[in-house]
């Protein structure tokens, strides 16, 4: 079980999105409303389906507008279907 106290079911994957930098390369700070939706994250937990090809702690790329966002204990999470994962990042 993960430290998120949630165990995804089936082919679902629990991800903690990685935050975008709040400062641009030129040194400007971006307000929250100007930041893009994150597309990378770290796998926290996976469902019980054996076809899931990622494991906890993997860094992944996922589709931009997918899954269910929620907050637990002050931490943002995203629960998505495994087929919405696009790549494993190294």
Enumerate the domain spans of the chain.
12-20+30-89
Q: 57-82 burial string, b = 16+ CB within 10 Å, else e?
A: ebebebeeebbeeeeeeeeebbbbbb
- What's the pLDDT at 64? 87
Tens-digit pLDDT profile for residues 33-84: 655 677 999 999 999 999 999 999 999 999 988 999 999 999 999 999 999 9
Instruction: Label residue 23 by pLDDT band (50, 70, 90).
Output: low
Q: Is 72 helix (H, G, I), strand (E, B) or coil?
A: strand
Burial class, 38, CB count within 10 angstroms (exposed 0-12 / middle 13-18 / buried 19+): middle
- Of the candidates 73, 83, 88, 5, the one whose C-alpha atom is nearest the C-alpha of residue 43 is 88
Which pTM was predicted?
A: 0.80
Higher pLDDT, 2 or 35: 35
First-to-last alpha carbon distance for the chain, in angstroms, is: 24
- Identify the CATH assignment for 12-20+30-89 out of 3.40.120.10, 2.30.33.40, 2.60.120.560, 3.30.930.10: 2.30.33.40
């Amino acid at each position: 079980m993960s430290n998120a106290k949630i165990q995804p079911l089936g082919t679902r994957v629990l991800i903690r999105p990685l935050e975008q930098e709040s400062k641009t390369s030129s040194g400007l700070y971006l307000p929250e409303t100007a930041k893009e939706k994150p597309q990378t994250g770290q796998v926290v937990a996976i469902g019980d389906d054996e076809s899931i090809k990622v494991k906890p702690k993997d860094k992944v790329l996922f589709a931009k507008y997918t899954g269910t966002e929620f907050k637990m204990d002050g931490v943002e999470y995203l629960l998505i279907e495994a087929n919405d994962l696009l790549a494993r990042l190294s």
